[in-house]
Amino acid sequence: MTVCSTRQGAVRGRISPEGVTSFLGIPYAAPPFGAQRFFEPAPPEPWTGVRDAMAYGPTPPHARYAPPFDALIPENAIPGEDCLNLNIWTPAPEPGAGLPVMVWLHGGSFTNGSGSASAYDAGAFARDGVVSVTLNYRLGTDGFLRLPGRPDNRGLLDQIAALRWLRDNIASFGGDADRVTVFGESAGAMSIGALLTTEAARGLFHRAILQSGACHHFLRPSSAVLITARLAEKLGIEPTPEAFEAVPLPELLPVQAELRAEVNADPDPTRWGEAALNMMPFEPIRPSLTLPGPHCDVDLLIGNNREEYRLFLVPTRRLHALSESRLRAMTAAYGLDPAQALPVYRASRPAATPGELLDAVATDWFYRIPAIRLAESVPGSYLYEFSWRSPQFDGTLGACHALELPFVFDRLRDPSYAPMLGAHPPQALADAMHGAWISFAKTGSPGWKPYNRTTRTTMAFTATPTPAPVTDPRAEERLLWEGVR
């Protein structure tokens, strides 16, 4: 066992057989309940003596994923109010080691997930010389619902508070506060997209990896008001913080989940604003799309999976049930002219069903084009695409959303990933992808040339052939979105 100091008190961690020391469940902010609920995170209370940090702490309240996603996407729930906590893995738990730091922001549509799922055990990063951190932040109503008289984006404020805690304490665990890389997937990457242009986050991280999310997913204030009003209506309360505080969590959380299902069932922009297409009623609230631009002082690695949207089409059995008319309607809703765009997508997929074409169009709208726009905004950024296809669901799951996670974390044998990975995922691909993330955190380069508007170099992470950079993949489809997304 090893003891490290923090400004709140000393913590005791556990050393693994591989020589990695973990410190779990360290509070970076006070419990966000009682008088602190719906406000900015407050500093954690100090303690005396040495605090054991050998077990994960409580997770923020959230409802379970709805079927069938509950069987596919790993997460856990640990009860307790002291849920704003973080976990640290380090190969050198001593001041002065000066190691780079990687901080993980989990996904989950801003309503699910935590930093303590076994899927996010970051020991492999520490094994390879990086101090690694995972954390919790407030979700759903508590983290992102717009409430009068309360700060917006409380979940983002939690993330900023955690980064400040790390700035002040990570040296004790062997980390260098001036070499911090944040990385995240889905909602975690979208959080990073917001943090890149948030003044309060400036200087707290120096590199960022955005997996399947960038800057395009947010709610305008007017849309956030619509979400608040509808959630209050479903609960039978006034849309005030006091009224939401009075709703017991066992009653609030299922209604949150019902609200998301309602948005997805009737994606009407007049009812939901941006949430109608984003499919998420809880998101960062921002007045408009903001990209960091060429003066961004953060190195960026950005990317997506080749068939992201299949996660939402295949397990729900919509992939082969979707009609041509629905495909055309959705394509138009995303801003493209179906008569012009669909022949371009069909040209490289001549046997594709309407559902398979919707996967291609929606993957571009949700993930690929926002990644490209961010890379175009910040010269010197690196771009990737993950295209290894899962054998699950008779091979139709493809390179879907979240499939890259076990490769990034080098945890192909974690049982929680098995429903998506299937048998015998390629370890060589995990070595390549995990290695690129390590290289980027250490040096600022993942090992290929930066993206630019001429060559548009994109690393293709696939098992056959081996990963290699390609030039402007699917250029004809990319060009459809010029001036649209």
* Cis peptide upstream of residue 32 (ω within 30 degrees of 0): no
Characterize the bridge pairing of strands 2-5 and 10-15: antiparallel
**Residue with token string 């419990």:** 31
The catalytically annotated residue of 172, 186, 377, 416 is: 186
Residue 86 and residue 90: Cα distance in Å, rounded?
13
Choose, from 185, 274, 308, 385, the residue flagged as catalytic. Answer: 308
| Dist CA 262 CA 244 (whole Å) | 20
Report which residue type is found at 266. D
| Known catalytic membership, residue 308 | yes
Distance CA 373, CA 380 (A): 13
Query: Considering 106, 206, 217, 401, which one is annotated as catalytic?
Result: 401
* Under 8 Å between Cβ of 452 and 379: yes
Residue count of the chain, please give it: 485
Instruction: Pick left, alpha or beta for residue 279 (phi over 0 → left; psi -120 to 50 → alpha; otherwise beta).
Output: left
**90 strand-pairing partners:** 21
Query: Residue 401 catalytic?
Result: yes
Whether 62 is a known active-site residue: answer no
What are the backbone dihedrals phi and psi of residue 302, each rounded to the nearest 5 degrees, phi first?
A: -135, 145
Task: State the Cα–Cα distance between residues 114 and 312, nearest whole angstrom.
Answer: 21
Pairing of strands 299-305, 207-211: parallel
Closest CA to 408 of 450, 384, 444, 436: 436
The residues assigned a catalytic role are 186, 308, 401
